[in-house]
Structure 1
Amino acid sequence: MLEISDTDFDEVVRNNRFVVVDFWAPWCPPCRALAPVMEELSKEYEGRVQMVKINVDQHRVKAKEYGIMSIPTLLFFREGKLVDRQVGAVPKSLLREKLEQLIGK
């Protein structure tokens, strides 16, 4: 999974049809639990959904802009527009369902 910054966030979201952004921090146990699930899904959906992560400790601008109050938080973008969000570590099956909804519409 690609690590992005506040600087390239907009470009990544704008230049990919479907994007999932994982707001995380290394000290966050639920973030660490979600990381391998996101890596697996990133491989499963390679070429269809761009999955990226952004460290909220190092890159606070976008976290503030999108009102990230708790981590992990996933933001789902379709054609540059925020269409869904998921707060907290959730099962892979739920994330797969959300991804199918994202690319299916």
Structure 2
Amino acid sequence: MAVIHATKENFDQLISENPLVLVDFWASWCGPCRMVAPIVEELAKTFEENLTVLKVDVDENQELARRYGIMNIPTVILFKDGEKSWSEIGVKPQKFYEEQIRQSL
């Protein structure tokens, strides 16, 4: 499944309707966010059967960023069955995210 660009209008529905959701909170001006972007894209392909991947632009969706206490970007959050399972701030290797996702499957 392709990465979905989520907004406040569809975010809650996407989180509640999908059992495992990875959310990348980012901004276009953020250098580290551009480093995480291809990793997130690859995770969407690798786990396409089991994982929904969302991107939330914090500049366009400040309400969502506030709701989840996003103070630094990139912040990646994994939701399992609608509940926050784990989160990570900054850039990590792809294998780190893969391990976290596999533990939640």
Q: Which amino acid aligns with 2:25?
A: F
**1:27-71, Cα deviation, whole Å (9 max, x unpaired):** 000000110111011001002010110000000111001100000
Tell me which residue corresponds to 1:55.
Answer: 57
Unpaired stretches in structure 1, ≥5 consecutive residues: none
Q: Could you tell me the TM-score, scaled by structure 2's length?
A: 0.96
User: Does 1:17 pair with 2:19?
Assistant: yes
Letter of the 1:30 counterpart: P
Distance 2:102 2:60 in 1: 31
When normalised by structure 1's length, the TM-score is: 0.96
Correspondence for 1:44: 46
Detail structure 1 runs of 4+ shifted over 6 Å in the superposition: none
Supply the distance in 2 between the matched residues of 1:52 and 1:101 (Cα, whole angstroms).
19
Code of the aligned partner of 2:75 = T
Q: Give aligned pairs, total.
A: 103
Unaligned runs of 5+ in 2: none
Task: Report how far residue 83 of structure 1 moved.
Answer: 1.1
Percent identity over the alignment is 37
Report the RMSD for the aligned CA atoms in angstroms.
0.6
